[in-house]
Amino acid sequence: MRSLKTVAALAVAALTLTACGSGGGDGEAADGKVKLRFSYWGADSRQKLTEQAIALFEKKNPDIDVVGEFSDWASYYESLATKVAANDAPDVMTLEIRGLSEYAGRGALADLSGKVNTADLDQGVLPSGQVEGKQYALPTGVNVFAMLANKATIEKAGEKMPDDATWTWDDYIELSSKISKGGGGSVYGTEYTFNPAYLTIFAAQRGEQFYNNGKIGITPETLKAWWANFDKLIKTKGSPDAAKMAEVAAAGQEQSLIATNTGGFGMWWTNQLGAMTKSSGQELTLLRLPKLPDAQKSGLFLQPAMHWTISSKTEHPAEAQKFVDFLLNDPEAGAILLSDRGLPINSKVLAAIKDKLPPADQQTLTFIDSIKGDLDQVVVPPKGGGKMEDIIRRYSEAVTSGQQSPDEAATQLLADANAAIAG
């Protein structure tokens, strides 16, 4: 789950929406079948799975052709924004939660309330697709932002796995430092991240919400306390320094410390466990994130991996709804897609595919079940929410590299973040 790199383009595109035109092109194939365009992003493995699911849908619905419009992550939102601006939006679009308010607020999305069967979906997750009370999006599946631990790496450094029910941030920093020292210079205790999910969880442990009444609800004191954790990790050599971490982050998931067996811990989304395990070649364990000693809750939350949405301009809403219903509710579709877009939120689909899930997904399912009683409700970010990751990363890098003081950075970060929301 990464930041929306082209939210600025998205906003410009949304502003140019007009009432004329259709979202589905001509909407009809040469053979008279209804043509649905479906946009999504991902790696080659996701494309292969999705094409299999599309083929099954077309077999069950021979009067509908689904044309997949696939791209890599880097170009997805720029391309989609251009299509929406030109009144050429795909009939069914994949969106992240951070872009939901932007698209819904500009009239680009159809209200799906009562249009797709949601009876078997997790009712606690459905609000993550709602904007101002309307169900503009339906979650594909869910993740939790968690700590991944490489037990072999940790034990090789002479340390033991932590008790994730009781460990604190200070425990995590101290253990990371010990792992680095025991690693002989070739291993770090942890790699850190500036993912907004981490800041959201840390702030919740301090009784603060990331978004509160249409503004940023995090205080400068919380930002400075959060950055202090990075400073301690760097100074105790529990993690690489700022320059090295920037290199690691830029190299991507497959070159992370966890994936290359050069780190004991790393924070990632649970649906990334399978890919990380494959890259590592070793067993990785999911843990709860540490807590502040006096925290009343963990701050963890279920986050949709992404959402299915339908263009408000589609010429074929019934067929588009049928396709989304298939992706969400058909056990055969679930058996193909498995947890590629998060663990299914349809209880019947999940039960049908549970035994088919690979070991990493079985672990994820067990982990999520174990923490369900300690989860917060995810909040749909307001307009401008897609810019938060870039803002947080920019100021966090300035602080950890010593280019800016925490006081100055906190003030400017909050000003920029609130300005992004205000538009």
CATH no. for 7-140+306-360: 3.40.190.10
What's the confidence (pLDDT) of residue 214?
A: 87
43, 117, 338, 357 from 327: Cα distances, Å: 19, 11, 11, 17
What's the confidence (pLDDT) of residue 15?
A: 37
219, 367, 370, 388 from 200: Cα distances, Å: 12, 20, 21, 11
Total count of residues recorded for the chain: 423
DSSP 8-state secondary structure symbol assigned to residue 401: T
Q: In terms of Cα–Cα distance, which of 195, 145, 105, 136 is closest to 382?
A: 105
Are 98 and 4 a contacting pair, CB within 8 Å?
yes
Measure the CA–CA gap between 180 and 236, rounded to whole angstroms: 9
What's the confidence (pLDDT) of residue 158?
A: 97
Count Cβ neighbours within 10 Å for each residue of 161-199 and write b for 16 or more, e otherwise. Answer: ebebeebebeebbbbbbbbbbbbeeebbbbbbbbbbbbb
What's the confidence (pLDDT) of residue 30?
A: 58
Joined together, the tokens standing for residue 146 give: 């968690």
What's the confidence (pLDDT) of residue 367?
A: 97
Are 304 and 379 a contacting pair, CB within 8 Å?
no
75, 77, 161, 287, 298 from 7: Cα distances, Å: 12, 8, 40, 32, 30
Give the pTM.
0.88
What's the confidence (pLDDT) of residue 252?
A: 85
Joined together, the tokens standing for residue 86 give: 């030109």
Q: Mean pLDDT by 10-residue block, N- to C-terminus, for the chain (423 residues)?
A: 42 38 49 93 92 98 97 92 95 95 95 97 95 96 96 97 98 98 94 97 98 95 98 98 94 91 96 91 97 96 96 98 98 95 95 94 95 91 92 98 98 98 91
State which CATH number among 3.40.190.10, 3.30.1360.10, 3.40.50.620, 3.90.550.10 fits the domain covering 144-301+384-422. 3.40.190.10
Count Cβ neighbours within 10 Å for each residue of 363-396 and write b for 16 or more, e otherwise. Answer: bbbebbeebeeebeebbbbbbbbbbbbbbbbebb
Q: In terms of Cα–Cα distance, which of 193, 146, 196, 145 is closest to 392?
A: 196
Would you kindly state where each structural domain of the chain is located, as residue ranges? 7-140+306-360, 144-301+384-422
Are 239 and 192 a contacting pair, CB within 8 Å?
yes
Q: In terms of Cα–Cα distance, which of 269, 285, 256 is closest to 162?
A: 285
226, 370, 400 from 397: Cα distances, Å: 13, 34, 5
Asked whether this chain's domains 7-140+306-360 and 144-301+384-422 adopt the same fold, the reply is yes
